[in-house]
Chains A and B, each alone.
Chain A
Amino acid sequence: MKISKEIILSLEILTEHKVRTFLSLLGMVVGVGAVVVMVSTGRSAQKQIVDRINRMGTNLVIVSAGKSMLIAGRQRQMNIVRTLQVADAQSILEECPSVALAAPAVSEKVNIRWEDQNVNTTVAGMSVDGFQIRGIKPQSGRIFDPEESRALKRVAVVGSTAAANLFGSADPVGQQIRIGKVLFEVIGKATPRGTDVNGLDQDDVIFVPLETAMRRILNVTYVQTIYVQARNSRLLKNAEEEIASLLRERHRLAAKPDDFTIQNQATLLEAERETTSSMTLLVGSVAAISLIVGGVGILAVMLMSVRERIREIGLRRALGALRRDIRNQFLVESAILAGVGGMAGIGGGAILSWAISRFAHWPPVISLDAAAVAFSFSVVIGVFFGLYPAIKAANLDPIQALRSE
C-alpha cells in the first residue's frame, strides 16, 4: 500500500519534469544498452567462429607439415617441410585405431584461365575422402571418384567464389579450364562453405585429384596437410596422440622436435571460445563503467530535485512524514529512473545488436543474461546514487526547509 503510493507519487513527479527525466535516463539507457550490445555482439561473433570451426568438418584432426606458429592470431607455417608423405596418411589410417578416415592434401595459388578470363586461385589437390572429412558436397555436377584420382585424370570441382570469378553467371560444369598450363574439365561445383576460422574464403578454391595436382601441376612428392577424421568426437584427443607418435616414428625424429603440427577441432573450439569469451567480458566490463556514469547522472538529477522541492519536503515533514518516508520517496524515484532507463537500454541494445549481427552476417544472439545483469546493476546503481540525495532530503530540518526560498 505504502510502496505503491510512493511509486505513484514518484511517477507523477517524474512525468512532471519530462526533459530532465529524459536526460537523466539517457545515461542509464546508454550504459545498459552498451553492455547488452557489447556482450551480444561478442557472443554472436563467437558463435560465428564456432560455426566456422564446426563447418570445417566432423571430428576433424588436421595434420600439417612443419611447425606452425600462431602469428597475429593466425596459424602460419614457418617454412616448407618435405617430410609429410602420402604414405603417412595411409599408415595413419591403418595403424591408428581412433582414426576413421585420412586424406592427404596439397594446395597452392595457381593461375587459372577460361576463355579470356584469367584469375589466381588456390588449387587444392585432395583425395576423395577429403570431401567427406571436410563435408564438401557437390551443388551441381559431381565430385571425382578414386578411379579418376588414381588415373591422374584432369578433372576439377570448383568452389562457388572461384566459379563466380571465372565463369560469371555461366554454368561451370562441363567447361574446359587451364590450370597453369594443363587443361582440365570442370565436373562439379561445391556447395558454398563461407569463411574459415581465419576469415579466408573457403569457396575461392578449385579441387582436383591429389595425384593429378602433385604430378601434373605442382610437381611435388610431399603433401602439406593430412585431414583426419576420428571415429567419434571423444576420440579426438586419442587420435591426435596416436598420429603424433606414429609420425615421430615414421619420420625417425628420435630426439628432434616434431616436423608436423596437429590440431583438433575440439582444442580449436576451446581456444577460440576462451579468447572471445575473455574479450567479451573485457568489453562488457568497459561498457559497465558507463552504467556508473549513468548513475552519476541520476545523482545530479536527484540532487537538483531535492533542491527544487525543498519546501515540499519541509511541508511533508510538518504534516507528519517520517525521515524514512522522505528518504524512501526519493529512493523509489531514483530506482524508477534507473529501472526505466535500464529497460529502455535493454530494448535499444537488443535492437542495435540485432542490427549489427545482421549487418556483419553473424548469427544474431541477444544475451538475456547480460541484459538481466545490466538491468539489476542499473537499479542497484540508481538506488546507490539516489541514496545520498535521499538521505540529504530526509535529514533536512523541517523549519529550514519550509523557510527556504
Chain B
Amino acid sequence: MNMIELENIDKTYVTASVETRVLKRISFSVQKGEFLSIMGTSGTGKSTLMHILGCLDKPTDGHYRLDGTDMVSLNDDALSHLRNNKIGFVFQQFYLLDRATVLRNVMLPLIYTKEYPEDAKEQAEKLLAAVGLTERATYRPNQLSGGQQQRVAIARALINNPALVLADEPTGNLDSKSGADVLAVFQKLNREGRTIILVTHDRNVAEHANRIILLKDGMVAEDRVISSPLDADAESRAEAEKEMSK
C-alpha cells in the first residue's frame, strides 16, 4: 500500500518579478514501512520538498496524497490536524521547549489532538523508554546532551502514532557517536514497521535508509534501493570503542 503518493509536484516561488521554479514535476510514491532518504545539496529543493511532505507548504501544482488524504485541497486548520495526526517531525535543531520537562516536551503534540488521551503520561513514558531516556523524564532539555535531546524529539514525534516520521537533517548538529545513536533509533523504528523519510545532504547518513532519492535542480535525478544499508548500531559501538581507546 502506498503511504505517500506524489504526482507531478511543482513549486514556484514568486518574489517581486522573479519566478523561481524550485520543484519540477516530482513524482514518486513511498510504501508503508519504507525508510527513505531524500538527498541533495543545498538549493536542490529538498527543504521545499520536505515542507510539502510535512504539510507545512502546498505545491503550486500536482497532487500529494498522504495515507489516502489529498492535502492540496485542505485548508489551514485541516492541514494542522493532518500534521498533528499523521506526521511526526524531527528537526536539525531539536526545537524542545527549555522551560518544560523532557516528559512534558514529549507530550506537547497531545495538547493539539481532538481528544486528550487519559494515559498521555504513560504513552510518553513508554516512548522515552524506547529511546533509552526513562531516567531523564524530569530533566530540562538544556540539561541533556545533543544526542539525548534529539532522542527526546524523536519520542515527541511518535507520541501521536504518526503514519510518517519526517526527519530534517536529524544528525546535522550532533557528533558522530550521537548521530549514530539517533540513526540507530530510526533503524529500530523502521524495523518495527514505521515509515520514515530522512532529508539530508550527507551520503553517509542517507545510506542508512533502504532507499535514496537524489534531487538535482528540483528534479528526481536518481531513485535507488539500498540493498545493504549501513548499520548505525555497529557504528555507535565502534565510536564508543574509539572513545575508550583515547
Task: Identify which of A239-247, A311-319, A349-357 touches chain B.
Answer: A311-319
CB-defined interface of B104-126 with A at 8 Å, one 1/0 digit per residue? 00001101110010000000000
Q: Which of B51, B77, B97, B156 has the largest number of chain A CB atoms within 10 A?
A: B97
> Which residues of chain A from 4 to 31 have any CB-CB distance to chain B below 8 Å in the complex?
5, 12-13, 16
CA distance A398 to B109 in the complex (A): 15
B91 at interface (Cβ–Cβ under 8 A)? yes
A320:B99 contact, CB within 8 angstroms? no
Task: Identify which of A76-84, A108-116, A321-329 touches chain B.
Answer: A321-329
Task: Identify which of B79-87, B181-189, B227-235 touches chain A.
Answer: B79-87
B109:A323 contact, CB within 8 angstroms? no
B111:A5 contact, CB within 8 angstroms? yes
B95 at interface (Cβ–Cβ under 8 A)? yes
- Which of A2, A311, A318, A323 contacts B77, CB < 8 Å? A323
* Chain B contacts for A2, CB-based, 8 A: 111
A399:B51 contact, CB within 8 angstroms? yes
- Shortest beta-carbon distance from B156 to chain A in Å: 8
* Chain B contacts for A13, CB-based, 8 A: 99
Chain A, Cβ-Cβ closest to B89: A318
- Shortest beta-carbon distance from B60 to chain A in Å: 15
* Chain A contacts for B95, CB-based, 8 A: 311-312, 314-315, 402
Chain A, Cβ-Cβ closest to B77: A322
B56 at interface (Cβ–Cβ under 8 A)? yes
A1 at interface (Cβ–Cβ under 8 A)? yes
CA distance A40 to B52 in the complex (A): 61
> Which residues of chain A from 163 to 207 have any CB-CB distance to chain B below 8 Å in the complex?
none
B112:A320 contact, CB within 8 angstroms? yes
* Chain A contacts for B51, CB-based, 8 A: 399
* Chain A contacts for B97, CB-based, 8 A: 312, 315
Chain B, Cβ-Cβ closest to A320: B84
- Shortest beta-carbon distance from A401 to chain B in Å: 10
* Chain B contacts for A312, CB-based, 8 A: 95, 97
CA distance A16 to B83 in the complex (A): 29
CB-defined interface of A78-108 with B at 8 Å, one 1/0 digit per residue? 0000000000000000000000000000000
* Chain A contacts for B100, CB-based, 8 A: 12
CA distance A315 to B108 in the complex (A): 10
Chain B, Cβ-Cβ closest to A403: B47
Overall SS of chain A's interface:
helix
Q: Which of A12, A13, A314, A322 has the largest number of chain B CB atoms within 10 A?
A: A322
Given known A312-B97, A402-B95, contact A320–B81 (CB-CB < 8 A): yes
Total A residues in contact with B, Cβ cutoff 8 Å: 22
Q: Which of B89, B97, B108, B111 has the largest number of chain A CB atoms within 10 A?
A: B111
* Chain B contacts for A1, CB-based, 8 A: 116
B109:A320 contact, CB within 8 angstroms? yes
B57 at interface (Cβ–Cβ under 8 A)? yes
Q: Which of A1, A12, A312, A320 has the largest number of chain B CB atoms within 10 A?
A: A320
CA distance A311 to B76 in the complex (A): 19
B179 at interface (Cβ–Cβ under 8 A)? no
B40 at interface (Cβ–Cβ under 8 A)? no
> Which residues of chain B from 4 to 60 have any CB-CB distance to chain A below 8 Å in the complex?
51, 54, 56-57
B112:A318 contact, CB within 8 angstroms? no
- Shortest beta-carbon distance from A392 to chain B in Å: 16
CA distance A281 to B246 in the complex (A): 80
* Chain A contacts for B77, CB-based, 8 A: 322-323
> Which residues of chain B from 59 to 98 have any CB-CB distance to chain A below 8 Å in the complex?
76-77, 80-81, 83-85, 89, 91, 95, 97
* Chain A contacts for B111, CB-based, 8 A: 2, 5, 321, 325
Given known A13-B99, A399-B57, contact A319–B84 (CB-CB < 8 A): yes
- Shortest beta-carbon distance from A395 to chain B in Å: 10
* Chain B contacts for A398, CB-based, 8 A: 56
CA distance A316 to B84 in the complex (A): 10
* Chain A contacts for B156, CB-based, 8 A: 319
Given known A319-B83, A319-B109, contact A16–B76 (CB-CB < 8 A): no
Given known A12-B99, A16-B99, A311-B95, contact A320–B116 (CB-CB < 8 A): no
CA distance A325 to B108 in the complex (A): 13
CA distance A314 to B84 in the complex (A): 13
* Chain A contacts for B81, CB-based, 8 A: 320, 322
CA distance A319 to B113 in the complex (A): 10
* Chain B contacts for A320, CB-based, 8 A: 80-81, 83-85, 109, 112-113, 160
* Chain A contacts for B54, CB-based, 8 A: 318
- Shortest beta-carbon distance from A332 to chain B in Å: 13
* Chain B contacts for A321, CB-based, 8 A: 80, 84, 111-112
- Shortest beta-carbon distance from A391 to chain B in Å: 14
CA distance A12 to B99 in the complex (A): 8
* Chain A contacts for B112, CB-based, 8 A: 316, 319-322, 325
Nearest 6 CB-CB pairs, A to B? A320-B84, A320-B112, A319-B109, A315-B95, A320-B83, A322-B80
A interface with B by C-beta (< 8 Å): 1-2, 5, 12-13, 16, 311-312, 314-323, 325, 398-399, 402
B interface with A by C-beta (< 8 Å): 51, 54, 56-57, 76-77, 80-81, 83-85, 89, 91, 95, 97, 99-100, 108-109, 111-113, 116, 156, 160
A-B contact pairs, 11 of them (CB 8 A): A1-B116, A2-B111, A12-B100, A316-B112, A318-B56, A321-B80, A321-B84, A321-B111, A322-B77, A398-B56, A399-B56
Told that A2-B111, A322-B112, A399-B56 touch, could you supply 14 new A-B pairs with CB distance under 8 A? Answer: A311-B95, A315-B95, A316-B108, A317-B56, A317-B80, A317-B83, A319-B83, A320-B85, A320-B160, A321-B84, A322-B80, A323-B77, A325-B112, A399-B51
